[in-house]
Amino acid sequence: MAWKVRVTADIDWVGEGMGGAGLGILASNNPGFGTLGTGAGAVGCAQTLRLQQADQIIATAAPPTLQNFKDALTTSATDLGSQITATVLAQLQGWSTGGV
């Protein structure tokens, strides 16, 4: 039996002072904030960087446990973080001043 998790992280720039003018929730793939993603969150501006990662869930022949899923998600989060190199970070930081 094989299992994996696929994790996608979208990094958006949200302009200062957007407030209620840019609130969105669960529309156009824009989840909200909070534990369950149910609180309204600001919608990002034009720039978005998508990071993607897949990791195998390590389990015996038995169905995977909750901890197996949590471990795979933790590994994926670490792997996503390593995709933000100095070059990528500079690009992200440049968005607030009009960079692309």
The arithmetic mean of pLDDT across residues 14-32, rounded, is 60
The arithmetic mean of pLDDT across residues 3-10, rounded, is 90
pLDDT for 80: 94
Select the more confidently predicted residue: 97 or 16. 97
- Measure CA of the first residue to CA of the last residue in the chain; give whole Å: 43
- The boundaries of the domain holding residue 70 are 4-97
- Specify the DSSP element, H or E, that contains 49: strand 48-56
How many domains does the chain divide into?
A: 1
